Chain A
Amino acid sequence: MTVIGESVPRLEDRALLTGIGRFAGDQNFEGQLHMRVVRATVAHGRILSITTEDAAAMPGVFAIWTGADVADVPPINLRPGSALQDLEKCRQHILAQEIVRYVGEPLAVVFADDPYRAEDGADLVWAEIEELPPVVGLMDALGEFAPGISTEPAVFEKSYGDVDAAFAGAAHVIECELSVGRHAGVPLETRGALAVWNEAEDRLEFHAAAKIPHTNRIALADLLGLELEQLHLFEGHVGGGFGVRGELYPDEVLVNLAAMRFRRPVKWIEDRMEHLIAANHSREQTHRIRAATDAEGLILGLDDAFWFNQGAYARTHGATVPLISATMLPGPYKIPAYRTTGHIRLTNVTPAGTYRGPGRFETTFVREQLMDRIAAELKLDPLAVRRTNLITSDEMPYERPFEIGGKPIFYDSGDYPKSLARLLDYVGYDALQVEMVARRAAGEMAGAAVICFVERGGDGPFDDVRVEMDAGGTVEIITGVASVGQGVETVIAQICAETLGMDYAGITVTHGQTDRIARGQGARASRVTVMTGNATHKAAMGVRAMLLAKAAELLQSPVKTLDIVDGVIGVGGMSGDGPSLTIAEAAAEILRHRDASRIAVEETFENDRATYSFGAQLAAVTVDPLTAGVTVERFVVAYDIGRAVNPMLVEGQLVGGAVQGIGGALFEEFLYDENGQPLSVTFADYLMPTAAEVPDVECLVLEESPSTTNPLALKSAGDAGVTGAGAAIAAAIGAALGQPGAITRLPVSPLRLREILRKPSQ
């Protein structure tokens, strides 16, 4: 029986559809205090004093902390392996100590008996701050950001091949400067946390944790001076993550510290304005890139330098985003020689971390616009230039001779030209372009373009899964992953169900509970299906072996003659024909002779090789020449996932990601004025796509190149919708203008596009 590959509806849906979800805001503990953060309103300054008497006198206010009260808590660490050069010096304290460095930085916290009164109290905390000049320019001349810390605390190079020789022998050299605006995941649920000191168990419990509970547990225990056994994290429902939620922020640390110190539960839910100025930003990069090509547009070498705006502090991701950017920029093209220099800059704005497809959304835009510029300058067709440079199937597995996270990069499998051809075929590309040419001839500014990218996922190095079955044949899978809403439970249940030959609906999947399984890697970098899926398969195979062994004994038939179908173990695999017994009966028999209520098999799946998959996207847009407004007429995502466990869920990821990407291409940006004051602080300023701004995104889910890195041959899909969207929209606008490569900056706002429209075209 197969359930892998079936678009079965989700196990997660019931609670969410009936309104009984347990998001952070939905959880409450008896006697809880509500925490409200007081945040800096200047971008850079020295704290002269913080007055709290008026706030403390407000009804319901229980306590107020300022920097002095938490000075003994060390700054938040970078994740192991993510530090680079001086970034360790740039960590953030949980409350500002003497200097504030961005608008939104926590200065104080107020604890009160309800959130309204906590906010009343917070309003009366007065901070006297001597303003200092802020650093706001990403590309400013180097200077001092903080005592002993340069505005460029880290700069690194990644390269392979002989770049200088490539440029020396080039027929053409094409240069551009390309930028992506600051934006981020902005999930619909704001961040929140609850912490409770469990007196009976002598431990701290952090509820409504997310993303990487086990990793955060280790980091948080260390920060708070607790033994690991004294801290557990519990995940409830999570309203989207996209990389932003779940990293260890000052706010969560404060919640936990308060619960520990007060021995009372503490609850914190940030509001939307706080989210927009205090949760991780992302994406802001400027690249200066040169391509050396031959006469036919084949790239001989790339020479790139880029500046990454980290904001005011290094966050838990350290140098991860710039490093991924550096290694993924070449994408699906051969690029025999490549060099990039990554400059990590500090400025007095909200700190940055990852956002879905980190480093890939940005560099796909840069690389694909460069391809269009090559096409424009060499007077070649943009699609032809891409085909000329694509890695072919006989070159697989394709090595990029540098490392990421200490691991080499091997594009494991794929037939990139064939996958691209599938997209072109699906959209009727040639006819589409003929139609576009005709529309432009008739005076419309309409265009369509195709871009290509490579996505990565399945980050190891390991995943542990325990499959348990009780005497009734009910299964619980205990994992170390986290759910951000992507359908983790269903996919894992499907894999287990197929392995055990049972209905997936009889399976529950536990995640995000650190007291149920010792280790976990959470949900990040699009890893769950691959890593947890394989670990689940391994553990389920262990349970299957036990069931078959018992059945062989009871049915007097060798194991190799038995199969399990629809929960029934029988000879020859078909129930009803000869002796059989149900999974439940077999399980009950096994357990009868044991001092346990459940069969349990725990396995580890180890993998140090990420999976790499090819994608291509087509966007068709029209531009209003008088207003510079852009309408997205059509958006198609083609993606080779190798093997889809649940095609409907894969499409959900692609469509959702594509719409976020369209947001980053046209609408979303965290803007600042010259004083470092954030301008995008409400949903009226930070604009995300509604249903009216996007078409029905079409998906072509290809299963052509199963992964060679794991037994189930799985690849990931989480980031493949968003990664190409900036590039696709930019390329389509270029096509509409008759100027491939014209767009050099995202988002393409009317204000920016207008400048391009007003320039005389070449």
Chain B
Amino acid sequence: MATTRIQLNVNGTEHAVEVEPRHSLVDTLREACGLTGSHIGCEHGVCGACTILVDDEPVRGCLMFSVQADGKQIRTVEGLANNGAFNALQQAFHEQHALQCGFCTPGMLMLATWIVERDTPVSDDQLRDLIASNLCRCTGYRNIIRAIRAVLDQSGNAEAGP
């Protein structure tokens, strides 16, 4: 039960926290860092509700131990808005009704952030395949895909064909 002190950089802010090695990254973000936006849906890596960006890569926060994230750059849903103003993805999700209960939404937003930040065209099939990484039980996915497509189109990310 010995704890160790680690440093997590979350959305640009340093958090010095005491953790046990077995504390998952998503648990530490939620509890010690007080950032409850990332959710826990299954704790075996399937549902994706805990998806966050670690060093700009989407990963399952439930399958990393906090100690593994020491010194890494972590981005969560709380870092997306700019002084309360929605970013493009949040605005698109809002306009396209891409969320209902909102539980999968932070994971979807972080996955989508990775998708839109890459400088690679994404076809509709590829987009659907990427969104298949995360489960949603409310929306049926249609509006989530539309919202991300809208942002891709805005940023001039031309479709790569089906």
Contact = CB atoms under 8 A, between A and B. Distances in A.
Contact of A691 (B78, B105, B106, B145): B145
A23 B143 contact: no
Contact of B103 (A185, A188, A693): A188
A190 B41 CA distance: 7
Interface string A617-661: 000000000000000000000000000000011011001111110
Contacts of B84: 18
Interface in A447-489: 484-487
Contact of A240 (B30, B44, B101): B101
B106 A240 contact: no
Contact of B47 (A188, A487, A696): A188
Secondary structure of the A side of the interface?
loop
A505 to B, nearest CB: 13
Contact of A239 (B1, B102, B140, B144): B102
A272 B90 contact: no
Interface stretch (A6-14, A41-49, A605-613): A6-14
A615 B9 CA distance: 51
A241 B134 CA distance: 19
Interface string B28-56: 00100001111111111011010000000
B150 to A, nearest CB: 14
B102 to A, nearest CB: 3
B14 interface: no
Contact of A17 (B42, B76, B109): B109
Interface residues of A, number: 56
Contacts, number: 171
A59 interface: yes
A59 to B, nearest CB: 7
B77 interface: yes
A642 to B, nearest CB: 21
A694 B141 contact: yes
Contacts of B95: 9
B116 interface: no
Contact of A484 (B76, B101, B131): B101
Contact of B44 (A272, A648, A694): A272
A21 B102 contact: yes
A31 to B, nearest CB: 15
A682 B44 contact: yes
Most buried by B among A240, A658, A660, A682: A240
A18 B102 contact: no
Contacts of A20: 36-37, 78
A694 B77 contact: no
B11 to A, nearest CB: 10
A697 interface: yes
Contact of B94 (A17, A187, A657): A17
A240 to B, nearest CB: 4
B104 interface: yes
B67 interface: no
Which of under 10, 10 to 19, 20 to 34, or 35 or more describes the interface residues of B? 35 or more
B119 interface: no
Interface string B84-120: 1010001001110101111111100100000000000
A651 B138 CA distance: 12
Contacts of A240: 100-101, 103, 137-138
Contact of B142 (A21, A185, A655): A655
Contact of B90 (A18, A649, A655, A697): A18
B44 A684 contact: yes
A409 interface: no
A26 B30 contact: yes
A652 B39 contact: no
B81 interface: yes
A13 B143 contact: no
B101 A188 contact: yes
B49 to A, nearest CB: 6
Interface string B119-162: 00000000011011111111111111100000000000000000
Most buried by A among B42, B76, B77, B132: B42
A442 interface: no
B38 A13 contact: no
Contacts of A15: 102
B5 interface: no
Contacts of B99: 13, 16-17
A485 B43 contact: no
Nearest to A483: B101
Contacts of B30: 25-26
Contacts of A659: 139-141
A238 interface: yes
A441 interface: no
A239 B38 contact: no
A239 B39 CA distance: 10
Contacts of A21: 36-37, 102
B89 to A, nearest CB: 9
B86 to A, nearest CB: 7
A721 B140 CA distance: 10
Contact of A187 (B23, B137, B139, B144): B137
A648 B100 CA distance: 11
B140 A683 contact: no
B132 A18 contact: no
A186 interface: yes
Contact of A189 (B41, B81, B133): B41
Nearest to A59: B1
B8 interface: no
B23 to A, nearest CB: 7
Interface in A475-520: 484-487
Nearest to A661: B140
Contacts of A721: 140
Given A17-B86, A116-B20, A683-B47, A189 B101 contact: yes
Given A19-B35, A691-B145, A485 B102 contact: yes
The 9 closest A-B pairs by CB, nearest first: A19-B37, A485-B101, A16-B102, A239-B103, A659-B140, A19-B77, A655-B140, A683-B46, A692-B132
Interface of A: 7, 9-10, 12-13, 15-21, 23, 25-26, 59, 116, 185-190, 237-240, 242, 271-272, 484-487, 648-649, 651-652, 655-660, 682-684, 688, 690-694, 696-697, 721
23 contacts: A10-B97, A17-B94, A18-B81, A19-B77, A19-B78, A20-B37, A20-B78, A185-B137, A186-B137, A187-B101, A187-B103, A187-B137, A188-B47, A188-B101, A188-B137, A189-B41, A237-B102, A486-B101, A652-B143, A657-B140, A683-B46, A691-B144, A694-B140
Given A13-B102, A185-B137, A238-B101, 20 more contacts: A7-B97, A13-B99, A16-B102, A20-B78, A21-B36, A188-B101, A188-B104, A189-B39, A240-B100, A240-B137, A271-B43, A648-B97, A660-B140, A683-B44, A683-B135, A690-B132, A690-B133, A691-B144, A693-B132, A696-B145
